[in-house]
Copies of this chain bind each other. A is one copy, B any other.
Amino acid sequence: MGISEEIKQEKFKSEFSKAVVNILYTNSWINQQNLQLFKSYGLTTPQFNILRILRGQHPNPATVNLLIDRMLDKSSNASRIIDKLEQKGLVVRSQCSKDRRAVDVLISARGLDLLAKMDDEMHAWERSSNNLTEKEAEMLNFLLDKVRS
């Protein structure tokens, strides 16, 4: 079913403006799918995203500033999201030795474990809902990059 049928809108100003709506709609669809998984592990979407960035840095820490910079949805609330992760024992906070204004955030063993468990389900989902060929996925990446260029 195409985007027109799904949102019951026949006409668009242009093929490009249809694509814009299609991106927003597909984003919402993906979030909906992920949300169930995240909730079943007691995480919110931003919490999960921060954990993933931290794993990317591991075994090095990341400053709060770096986390904000890398987040998909830049949040002005990074501190409090990290609070939650710290309360759950998934990350460790410590003062940065090189710059005492900065705070080093490090993913804990427990955080790594949790992500590892989630990875399995995540990849299972990606495999099962990957309807694109390799070439098509490449083309999609190319076009999305071009939208933002």
Contact = CB atoms under 8 A, between A and B. Distances in A.
Nearest to A21: B72
Nearest to A8: B70
Chain B CB count within 10 A is highest, among A20, A56, A132, A136, for A20
Interface in A63-105: 70, 72-74
Interface string A15-28: 11111111111111
Contact of A132 (B7, B74, B130, B147): B147
Given A8-B70, A126-B13, A23 B27 contact: yes
Given A126-B14, A145-B3, A132 B73 contact: no
Please give the count of copies of this chain that the complex contains.
2
Contacts of A138: 15
Nearest to A137: B15
A43 to B, nearest CB: 16
Contacts of A30: 20, 23-24
A3 B143 contact: no
Interface in A131-149: 131-132, 134, 136-141, 143-149
Contacts of A136: 143, 146
A22 B72 contact: no
Interface string A102-114: 0000000000000
A128 to B, nearest CB: 11
Given A15-B134, A26-B147, A130-B16, A2 B141 contact: yes
